[in-house]
């Protein structure tokens, strides 16, 4: 049999490969992770008692957290498709961090000198550093399982993206409990908590995403 005939025979049986439904699975994982974070909040922490009289600050903190998660989503989706350039996605993440830092500086500069430290720290230990990664843990587990199926090649970066996205999800839930509404506090310590989640994700992802 000639080579040309063999190629023709093989080509006749070729069908378009089914396109993986990563977008749908990713959306379901994010939604399930947010639901789990809200459940953990309801069971372990409960919402702040004055949430009915302070809906705007809570909503703004939740929107800031959602924006942080939304910025990470395109980067995570691209890392699920090995070999593709990351392009503008890394720049978008860095841009978000820069805007948060700028908002912190503006908020502190606008505050009275004697009130700046309290506005920045919230008057105590920023418990979001602990609670945001905890609330985001279910989302991280779901995203790690999903990412393993995608067989990523940049394991540390993929783990960091998973951690940051899950941190944003955890921060969305935490905003309903957090008693501090200061802009400087949110733009500093929420971002730090998400960055801590990213660091944990990078460490864990580098091991669990191996294939």
pLDDT at res. 195:
97
Per-residue pLDDT of the chain (211 residues; tens, 9 = 90+): 455 554 454 445 444 444 457 788 999 999 999 999 999 999 998 888 888 887 899 999 999 999 999 999 999 999 988 777 888 999 999 999 999 999 999 999 998 888 889 889 888 899 999 999 999 999 999 999 999 888 788 899 999 999 999 999 999 999 999 999 999 999 999 999 999 999 999 999 989 888 7
Which pLDDT belongs to residue 8? 52
Position 52 scores a pLDDT of 81
Q: Which two tokens stand for residue 43?
A: 């069971």
Please give the full DSSP string across 160-182, using - where no structure is assigned.
HHHHHHHHHHHHHHHTTT-----
| The pLDDT of residue 138 | 97
- Res 152: pLDDT: 83
Task: Check residue 153 and report its DSSP letter.
Answer: S
Query: Residues 170, 134: contact at Cβ < 8 Å?
Result: yes
**Alpha-carbon span 37 to 136, nearest angstrom:** 6
Cα torsion angle, 144, 145, 147, 152, sign: positive
Residue 114, classified by CB atoms within 10 Å of its CB into exposed (0-12), middle (13-18) or buried (19+), is exposed
* pLDDT of amino acid 11: 44
pLDDT at 114: 84
């Amino acid at each position: 049999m000639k080579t040309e005939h063999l190629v023709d025979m093989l080509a006749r049986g070729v069908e378009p490969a089914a396109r993986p439904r990563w977008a749908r699975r990713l959306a379901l994982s994010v939604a399930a992770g947010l639901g789990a974070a809200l459940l953990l909040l309801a069971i372990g922490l409960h919402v702040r008692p004055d949430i009915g009289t302070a809906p705007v600050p809570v909503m703004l903190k939740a929107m800031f957290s959602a924006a942080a998660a939304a910025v990470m989503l395109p980067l995570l989706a691209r890392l699920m498709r090995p070999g593709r350039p990351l392009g503008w996605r890394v720049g978008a993440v860095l841009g978000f961090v820069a805007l948060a830092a700028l908002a912190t500086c503006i908020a502190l500069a606008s505050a009275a000198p004697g009130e700046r430290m309290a506005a920045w720290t919230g008057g105590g230990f920023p418990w979001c550093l602990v609670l945001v990664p905890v609330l985001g843990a279910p989302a991280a587990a779901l995203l790690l399982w999903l990412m393993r199926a995608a067989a990523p090649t940049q394991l540390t970066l993929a783990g960091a993206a998973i951690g940051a996205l899950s941190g944003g999800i955890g921060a969305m839930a935490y905003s309903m409990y957090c008693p501090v509404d200061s802009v400087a506090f949110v733009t500093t310590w929420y971002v730090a908590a998400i960055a801590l989640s990213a660091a944990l994700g990078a460490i864990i992802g580098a091991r669990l995403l191996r294939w």
